[in-house]
Structure 1
């Protein structure tokens, strides 16, 4: 046999072996997973399809999107969701007539109830019955009742998360309104005073400062969105410092170091700016001579590291702890507010860190994850 023929035989044999190995592998792959494992996967997958709709709360729209998956999860002829007033959506044939009594009994008692071919279980949020999960089936059983009860508990947990999200949003909006009310009078007074001082001596400078003031207030009092980009927040800080430098003159120096790759990181609206204003008001206003504010934003892997530092008069650490606990001087602009909002959005390990001491200046550090659930 020639070398060429031998090579061809070996090639064909190799391909045959490879195909045989792949056939055997695929044959084994079809058998992967026991029936119990496949059933668990199917259950979790179906639940995951219903979850996004339920996280929107108990409404007609969310119910209509979730209830087909809940029916598949339970395996009943008909499934429905109701609120405290009546039915919201059905999967399968609507069965309000045969399920109405069971629903009524659940809303009255707060406990699962059966009536004829129907079974209903309560949906609760923080102990309040807000609706029911109800099914109708040709062969109701104790097993079906247990399934409906457990699925209703899972639905209730999703509704509680939805209410938590809504409460968190309302809290952040309230804190943001409080922050605006706190910082605006002081800053507006000082800015307009600085602008007025240039009206006669340097009208063009007064005009430029007035435009900066307009842009700054437009950003600070905008009504859309809980979040912004770091780039937008830094632009607002730049406008703020231009106005403050008009007031302080050569007494205020500003150093900025920002890594370009973090400019698009999403941060809570008005989370960095109040820290800069706090540095000016409590760090530099009472200092004699020149004061420096340093604004730094660095790339720290999965996080963006931001810090604001001043070489001003500093403060007693006990005073700062009191401020962060909400019991300190109300003139401390936004320190506790920013800390609380960061913890609300990212968790308790993402509050601000303050390093200070009398005569030692102050450094405030915050860590912002580049990606976080619910942050957009």
Structure 2
């Protein structure tokens, strides 16, 4: 028999205090994970004051007071104390006879060993316990700000890699597609018009300017357009099989992380094979993950060359293979790099695993 949840189920007073502290910290974290500015400080400050149990708390950057909670101290006085601590880089206690409270404890906020601001706590008394609490809260705030910087760095890296990928893929595909479309202009104008629309939709998706993530459904639609255009060029030499479990269509993954692998299969696997061949794209449900395989029965590749590509060798021309591997590892961790099985004359199979749910991977 189940009993209704209640505060008593949290156990002792110490258990309840721990829960309240963690809950309060979780309320402040989302704002701080966006970085240190007026908006994030205003959203976090009341929760920080609750954590400290202090009459008045302020957050500053290196130039100004960003937010306060409690009796309104003169911001110039608060910033004067903050600057001393920002300069020294250590927690300090002050007597403040001009302020509403007689004492202040100020702790620095640091990101990658650089002081970026301060937590200023005003109180009638300056106990060692309050000083320790202020220092620990400042360290926790600093950790959230460091995570915000990591998020920004990751975003900048992914944007740079995506620009590089577009630059690498575009010329080859654009020239071939336009050539294929041109070949139908006189002999089959309706086919040429349909292919031109497919080309427009494909390029619109590939060069969109918003979002580093997409859904598997959208990525597969782009792949279908790409393959329609390639089949116009290859004719009966290219055979395509696509099998997708409906359960994985909504999975979020890095933008342009599957299409380059399909292009690699066509360009490096089949283009050099007499008589063409087959490309198979399979997306299946694997519990907490979606598993995607792109396989061709083309000319295959030297495994040592593939290892060099995945290690970052830019002298090769495998379209996006290393780029996709790097972006998958950046988003999901090293356990989610792509796996390539190949040998000369034996075709190539690329496997990609994507977690169905991953923090930060949002469309």
Are 2:303 and 1:303 aligned? Answer: no
Q: What RMSD, in angstroms, separates the aligned Cα atoms of the two structures?
A: 1.8
Q: 1:39 to 1:243 in 2, by over 3 A?
A: same
Q: Say which of 104, 113, 124 aligns to 2:110.
A: 124
- How do 1:17-96 and structure 2 match up within 5 A? 30=8, 33-95=11-73, 96=75
Q: Which residue of 1 aligns with 2:191?
A: 205
Q: Say which of 268, 273, 290 aligns to 2:276.
A: 290
Q: 1:224 to 1:32 in 2, by over 3 A?
A: closer
Q: Distance in 2 between matches of 1:371 and 1:38?
A: 30
- How far is 1:343 from its partner? 1.0
Maintained 8 Å contact 1:172/1:341: yes
Maintained 8 Å contact 1:259/1:297: yes
- How do 1:122-201 and structure 2 match up within 5 A? 122-201=108-187
Maintained 8 Å contact 1:233/1:269: yes
Q: Distance in 1 between matches of 2:217 and 2:13?
A: 53
Q: Distance in 2 between matches of 1:218 and 1:29?
A: 54
Q: 1:295 to 1:154 in 2, by over 3 A?
A: same
Q: 1:61 to 1:34 in 2, by over 3 A?
A: same
Q: Which residue of 2 aligns with 1:115?
A: 94
Q: Say which of 332, 342, 361 aligns to 1:356.
A: 342
Q: Distance in 2 between matches of 1:40 and 1:286?
A: 64
Q: Say which of 213, 216, 220 aligns to 2:202.
A: 216
- How far is 1:259 from its partner? 1.2
- How far is 1:267 from its partner? 1.7
Q: Which residue of 2 aligns with 1:323?
A: 309
Structure 2 unaligned blocks of 5 or more: 96-102
- How far is 1:240 from its partner? 0.6
- How far is 1:130 from its partner? 0.6
**1:40 match: secondary structure:** helix
Are 2:320 and 1:334 aligned? Answer: yes
Q: Distance in 1 between matches of 2:169 and 2:40?
A: 40
Maintained 8 Å contact 1:99/1:136: no
Q: Distance in 1 between matches of 2:229 and 2:315?
A: 25
- Single out whichever of 38-47 and 343-352 deviates more from structure 2: 38-47
Superimposed CA distance per residue, residues 159-196 of structure 1 (whole angstroms, 9 cap, x where no aligned partner)? 10111111111111111111111100110011111111
**Normalised TM-score (structure 2):** 0.93
Are 2:297 and 1:273 aligned? Answer: no
Q: Which has the higher helix share?
A: 1
Maintained 8 Å contact 1:274/1:333: yes
Q: Distance in 2 between matches of 1:256 and 1:82?
A: 55
Q: Distance in 1 between matches of 2:7 and 2:111?
A: 44
- How far is 1:243 from its partner? 0.8
**Normalised TM-score (structure 1):** 0.90
Superimposed CA distance per residue, residues 231-271 of structure 1 (whole angstroms, 9 cap, x where no aligned partner)? 11111111111111111111111111111221121121111
**2:187 match: secondary structure:** coil
Q: Say which of 225, 234, 240 aligns to 1:254.
A: 240
**2:184 match: secondary structure:** coil
Maintained 8 Å contact 1:229/1:267: yes
Q: Distance in 2 between matches of 1:31 and 1:356?
A: 56
**1:326 match: secondary structure:** coil
Count matched residues. Answer: 352
Q: Which residue of 2 aligns with 1:99?
A: 78
Q: Distance in 1 between matches of 2:345 and 2:9?
A: 72
Q: Distance in 2 between matches of 1:337 and 1:99?
A: 48
Superimposed CA distance per residue, residues 249-294 of structure 1 (whole angstroms, 9 cap, x where no aligned partner)? 1111111111122112112111110000001111011111131000
- How far is 1:372 from its partner? 1.3
Maintained 8 Å contact 1:99/1:119: no
Question: Rg bigger for which structure?
Answer: 1
